[in-house]
């Protein structure tokens, strides 16, 4: 789609959107402008700086800064001559480069020492501290289900894992949905996923509060601020779990959770927020995506052209973009719709 008058920006031979998913670069620390510019290059092919700025409705200085960001992470190739076109690098190659740049620490011995140090610092020194040992994963999952069933107010969790096994997801999802259905406040603090790009679908779809830190020091679950579960061995989750219910200990662990939560960030901040479309917006976008003009879409829906224009303007304002071309990219980024063709609006 395009703003009134149209930019005529059809997908060229260098466009990548037809054959590959375009990564969300803001999840890797790049700016929303860089994400938008890469998405435009990958979708429509090589463009000069002035053309990109005009197509996206961005000031030239912002488009230039975004291109410099992309160049720094090898997501774009600079033109050989000053007025030449910038070219996108294939998404798979961009992701490989971003993964290579991400610092990874896989020192399990250090992780174990740090885990013990954090827990030791968080827990008060209580004489004769006792814990129930849940012997293995199966026993732990059964106990989690029992505690979930009697929760009434709040569920807190820390997850240091960068990926989860299918078994773990299948076991957790029904319990989490039950909590939300009963109105329990659920807060989870995790780490960026392994591929750096995949929005954690289960978290997004379920709708609970979720934040991320570069590093989460331990795995923890707290039920209604009265019972806490910790792994018995941070290096071997098959070694089972410790269940603690001493009020002073649980309060200390809640305090640790709140300190981490206060410094964590919503991974969606600075990126493209989820978009919910009304039935009218869905109908209008569907027709425009098929190649209709505002006039023919209005005839199909039995409404006026002015209503089409108002619907599109309201949607652009809600998404926070300035023209129809930016709207098409934003909708594609959140997968509300697939890539949309450039459909000029009628002058009316």
Contact by Cβ (8 Å): 212, 190: yes
| pLDDT per position as a tens digit, 114-152 | 666 666 666 665 555 677 888 888 888 888 888 888 888
Q: What per-residue string of b and e applies to 74-84 under the rule 16 or more CB within 10 Å gives b? A: ebbeebeeeee
* Position 166 confidence tier, pLDDT thresholds 50, 70, 90: low
d(CA 314, CA 306): 12
Strand partners, 189: 158, 211
d(CA 226, CA 8): 61
pLDDT at 107 over 60: no
d(CA 38, CA 76): 8
For the four alpha carbons of 332, 338, 343 and 347, in that order, the dihedral sign comes to negative
> What tokens does 120 get?
């030791």
d(CA 248, CA 149): 24
Residue 155, classified by CB atoms within 10 Å of its CB into exposed (0-12), middle (13-18) or buried (19+), is: buried
Residue among 257, 242, 273 nearest 187 (CA): 257
Angstrom distances, CA of residue 107 to CA of 102, 112, 196:
16, 9, 20
| pLDDT per position as a tens digit, 53-87 | 998 988 999 999 899 889 888 999 999 887 789 99
DSSP string, 76-114: EE--SSTT-EEEEPPHHHHHHHHHHHS-----HHHHHHH
Whole-model pTM: value is: 0.48
Looking at residue 336, its pLDDT comes to 54
d(CA 160, CA 11): 41
Mean of pLDDT values over 212-226:
89
Ranges of beta strands (E only) in the chain are 47-48, 76-77, 85-88, 132-134, 154-158, 185-190, 209-212, 220-223, 227-231, 241-244
Looking at residue 38, its pLDDT comes to 93
Looking at residue 340, its pLDDT comes to 46
Residue among 236, 232, 192, 195 nearest 215 (CA): 192
* Position 105 confidence tier, pLDDT thresholds 50, 70, 90: very low
d(CA 140, CA 330): 42
Looking at residue 231, its pLDDT comes to 85
């Amino acid at each position: 789609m395009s703003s009134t008058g149209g930019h005529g920006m059809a997908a060229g031979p260098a466009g990548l959107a037809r054959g590959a998913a375009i990564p969300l670069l803001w999840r890797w620390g790049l700016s929303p402008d860089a994400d938008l510019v890469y998405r435009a290059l990958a979708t429509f092919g090589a463009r000069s700086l002035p053309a990109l700025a005009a197509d996206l409705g961005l000031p030239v200085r912002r488009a230039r800064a975004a291109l410099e960001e992309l160049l720094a992470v090898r997501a774009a190739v600079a033109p050989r001559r000053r007025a030449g076109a910038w070219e996108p690098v294939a998404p798979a190659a961009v992701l490989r480069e971003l993964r290579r740049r991400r610092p990874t620490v896989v020192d399990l011995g250090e992780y174990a020492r740090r885990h013990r140090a954090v827990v030791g610092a968080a827990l008060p020194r209580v004489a004769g501290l006792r814990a129930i040992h849940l012997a293995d994963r199966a026993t732990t999952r059964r106990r989690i289900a029992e505690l979930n069933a009697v929760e009434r107010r709040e569920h807190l969790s820390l997850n240091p894992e960068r990926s989860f096994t299918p078994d773990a997801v299948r076991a957790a999802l029904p319990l989490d949905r039950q909590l939300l259905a009963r109105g329990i406040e659920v807060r989870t603090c995790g780490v960026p996923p392994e591929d750096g790009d995949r929005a954690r679908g289960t978290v997004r779809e379920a709708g609970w509060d979720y934040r991320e830190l570069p590093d989460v020091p331990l795995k923890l679950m707290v039920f209604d601020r009265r019972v806490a579960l910790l792994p018995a061995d941070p290096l071997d989750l098959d070694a089972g779990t410790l269940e603690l219910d001493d009020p002073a200990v649980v309060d200390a662990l809640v305090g640790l959770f709140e300190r981490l939560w206060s410094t964590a960030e919503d991974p969606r901040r600075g990126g493209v927020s989820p978009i919910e479309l009304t039935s009218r917006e869905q109908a209008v976008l569907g027709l425009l995506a098929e190649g209709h003009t505002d006039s023919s879409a209005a005839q199909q829906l039995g409404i006026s052209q002015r209503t089409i224009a108002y619907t599109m303007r309201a949607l652009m304002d809600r998404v926070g973009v300035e023209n129809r071309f930016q709207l098409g990219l934003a909708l594609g980024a959140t997968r509300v719709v697939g890539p949309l063709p450039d459909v000029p609006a009628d002058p009316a």
